Amino acid sequence: MAPASTTPNFSRPFNSPLSTGALETPVRSSRRRHALSDLPHSASQANMPLRRSAKAPSPAKKPFDVASHSTAKDKPANCQTEDVHDEGGVPSVPGGRHNRKLSGVSQKSTTSDSAVTTVLSAELGDVGHPIKNFRPYLWRHLDVNRETLNIDVFWPIKLEDIDDEEEEDENGDLKGVFPIKELQPLKTFHNLHYLQLNGMMRSYQSVIWATCWVNKNLTKVHLEMALEPLICDDIMHKYRKIDTKWTFDRLSDTAPENEYMGSHGSGTLHEEFGDGEYLDHQVMKNSQLAVLHQVPVENLRYLPITHLTLLNFVVDGGPFYRWFDPAKFKEITFKGDCIDTGFSLPDDMMTTVRVNSPKPVAPARWVRPGEVKLVEIKKKKPTTDKAEASGKVEEKVTSGKAEDKVTSGKAEESGKAEASGNGGGLKSKLSQIMPKWGSKGKDETAQLEKNMAKMGM
């Protein structure tokens, strides 16, 4: 393990981002323009047209209502009027526009329909309910005093709207990408405990880290890029992909040989290394200087983050040596296709910080023709009570027929004996074939015998 006094060198022979000389922004790769065709498109996203400037909905048809449920008496009616500016000094959406509270009438509605709508809409922006396809005009519907904010800044556009020859604007935004100046209102939220941004198609780290600096209780940050980073082929052999096989070596005695790989504090990789999002310690410093007058005392030295989740980032040890508090930082989780370019932790974090790599995905493979065979199992006919009953009836009928045959045989034999002159045989035959009718039957039988005796039979 490296000595406590040893700190990796994260410097690069580039001009400092704080120098007075103007620095030219390096030209990015055109991979971002073509990458939209590789993203999964749902039925709703693929057919959604591009909106350059969305209009605010009418008050009667608000997209959602996530203002606090307190009454108008609990909060003052006046709104914050401080303007927010981006890095270039361009004024952004004023704080009063999205800090406006909804009227007390809408909050005190007692109808069942509005109550259900309020409960459902209040979940938007929570940990498990991100606000999909977030648009700038939606800021005014969010309460700046909320504790949790989860937004998806990915804008789905049609593939035919992508222009390969289109260049970036003055803010580095491409067509169909959420503009960075429209994310500036995020810095007016000063009571956040959880922040999650999904589907980012460009770097917003200057706004994200400024938001972290002004929130003393912002302990959990979850950042997801829409595209994975790419490292140049000639240097990729020096780094490792953070996948299911990746493990963090806590027992290594050699300090990692790191160098700053960012593009002058922009949050992206320098073009000589590749293209993608880079966890940039310089942009963390610059964002702190930009909001220094709003930074609480608790955040003057370290970020308040205790749990950090990254998806599709290039990560080294620079930010953790400089801006994360060893006494507070507890866990870092890597997801997607992150790249380890020298990830390391200070000695006082080695035993206290939990490092999570991506979880393995259930294995799957293509099934070749002929591998799947269909086996048909014939079912046995069930033996029911009716079938058993019918079988018993057939047996009785068969036995009855056999008895009839035996009886008829006996009758023929007795008939032959009577034909030979045996008178007793006739009486016995009559006694067999005549039914037994009780006392009345006996009298009739006796009368019949008398009549037969008179006739000489």
Continuous segment of H or E residues that includes residue 355? strand 354-356
Look at residue 343 in the predicted model and tell me its pLDDT: 95
Domain count of the fold of the chain:
1
Q: How far apart are CA 7 and CA 317, in angstroms?
A: 10
Q: pLDDT at residue 377 above 50?
A: yes
pLDDT at 41: 44
Secondary structure letter of residue 49 according to DSSP: P
274-275 vs 230-231, strand pairing mode = antiparallel
Residue 242 lies in a domain: no
Q: What is the DSSP letter of 155?
A: -
Residue 167 in this model has a pLDDT that exceeds 70: no
Q: How does pLDDT run across 114-166, given as a tens digit for each residue? A: 443 444 456 789 998 999 999 999 999 999 999 999 999 998 776 666 665 55
The listed range with the strongest mean pLDDT (7-21, 126-140, 300-314, 356-370) is: 300-314
- Range scoring the smallest mean pLDDT among 22-31, 207-216, 429-438, 440-449: 22-31
Query: Higher-confidence residue: 206 or 33?
Result: 206
pLDDT tier for residue 407 given thresholds of 50, 70 and 90: low
435-449: buried (b, 16+ CB within 10 Å) or exposed (e) per residue?
eeeeeeeeeebeeee
CA–chain centroid gap for 211, Å, is 26
In this prediction, residues 213-233 reach a mean pLDDT of 97
What is the token pair recorded at 210? Answer: 């400024």
Q: 367: helix, coil or strand?
A: coil
Supply the mean pLDDT for the chain: 73
103 — pLDDT class (breaks 50, 70, 90) = very low
CA 243 – CA 241 distance, rounded (Å): 6
Beta bridge pairs of residue 91? 85
Amino acid at 110: T
The residue among 408 and 142 whose pLDDT is bigger is 142
- The yes-or-no verdict on residue 302 having pLDDT over 80 is yes
User: Strands (DSSP E) along 236-297, which ranges?
Assistant: 240-242, 274-275
Distances (CA, A) of 158 to 41, 176, 178, 182, 304: 9, 9, 15, 22, 40
**Structural domain includes residue 447:** yes
The token pair that represents 129 in the structure block: 């309910």
Dihedral of alpha carbons 224, 226, 228, 232, sign? negative
More confident of the two residues 127 and 445: 127
What is the rounded CA–CA span in Å between residue 379 and residue 376? 9
Average pLDDT over residues 163-181: 74
| pLDDT value of position 253 | 74
Residue type, 135: R
Which pLDDT value is given to residue 81? 39
Q: Where are the alpha helices (DSSP H) in 259-384?
A: 281-290, 318-322
Positive/negative CA dihedral, 61, 66, 71, 75? negative
Structure tokens, 85: 């500016």
Q: Answer with the residue of higher pLDDT: 62 or 315.
A: 315
- Residue 357 confidence class, pLDDT cut points 50, 70, 90: very high
Between 422 and 342, residue with greater pLDDT = 342
Could you tell me how far CA 17 lies from the centroid of its own chain? 39
Q: Which domain holds residue 431?
A: 386-454
The region of weakest confidence among 83-87, 245-249, 253-257, 428-432 is 83-87
Question: Are the beta carbons of 440 and 434 closer than 8 angstroms?
Answer: no
Tell me how far apart the alpha carbons of residues 269 and 203 are, in angstroms, rounded to a whole number.
10
Indicate whether 435 belongs to any domain.
yes
User: In terms of Cα–Cα distance, which of 263, 254, 261 is closest to 239?
Assistant: 261
Position 62 in a domain:
no
Position 263 pLDDT exceeds 90? yes
Q: Identify the residue whose tokens are 């009667």.
A: 60
Q: Which segment of 89-98, 419-428, 446-455 scores lowest on mean pLDDT?
A: 89-98
| CA separation for the pair 299, 392 (Å, rounded) | 93
Whether 449 shows a pLDDT value over 50: the answer reads yes
**What is the band of 258 on the pLDDT scale with cuts at 50, 70, 90?**
confident
Q: What is the pLDDT of residue 175?
A: 79
- Whether 87 is in a domain gets the answer no
Q: Give the distance from CA 422 to its chain's centroid.
A: 105
Return the pLDDT at 123. Answer: 76
CA angle 60, 65, 70 (to 5 degrees): 115
Residue of 261, 266, 202 lying closest to 232 (CA atoms): 261
Helix/strand/coil for 199? strand
349 φ/ψ angles, rounded to the nearest 5 degrees: -110, -10
Q: Is the pLDDT of residue 197 over 70?
A: yes
Percent of the chain past pLDDT 70, that is, above it, reads: 53
Q: In this structure, is residue 267 part of a structural domain?
A: no
The segment with the largest mean pLDDT, out of 10-19, 90-99, 218-227, 246-255, is 218-227
Whose CA is closest to 342, among 206, 213, 242? 242
Q: How many CB atoms lie within 10 A of CB 93?
A: 19
> What is the percentage of the chain residues whose pLDDT exceeds 90?
43
Distance, CA of 296 to CA of 278 (rounded, Å)? 26
pLDDT confidence of residue 176: 83
Query: Using 50, 70 and 90 to split pLDDT, how confident is the model at 400?
Result: low
Q: State mean pLDDT over 257-263.
A: 88
Question: Best-predicted range by mean pLDDT among 167-171, 294-298, 437-441?
Answer: 294-298
Query: Which among 103, 99, 83 has a CA at the least distance from the CA of 91?
Result: 83
Q: Per mean pLDDT, which of 112-116, 238-242, 366-370, 398-402 is the most reliable?
A: 238-242
Q: Is residue 428 in some structural domain? A: yes
pTM of the model: 0.58
Residue 392 pLDDT > 50: yes
Residues 310-327 have pLDDT tens digits of: 999 999 999 999 999 999
Mean pLDDT score, 435-456: 66
Q: What is the DSSP letter of 60?
A: G
Residue 263 within any structural domain of the chain: no
Contact 171, 179 (CB under 8 A): yes
Band (pLDDT 50/70/90 cuts) for residue 69 is very low
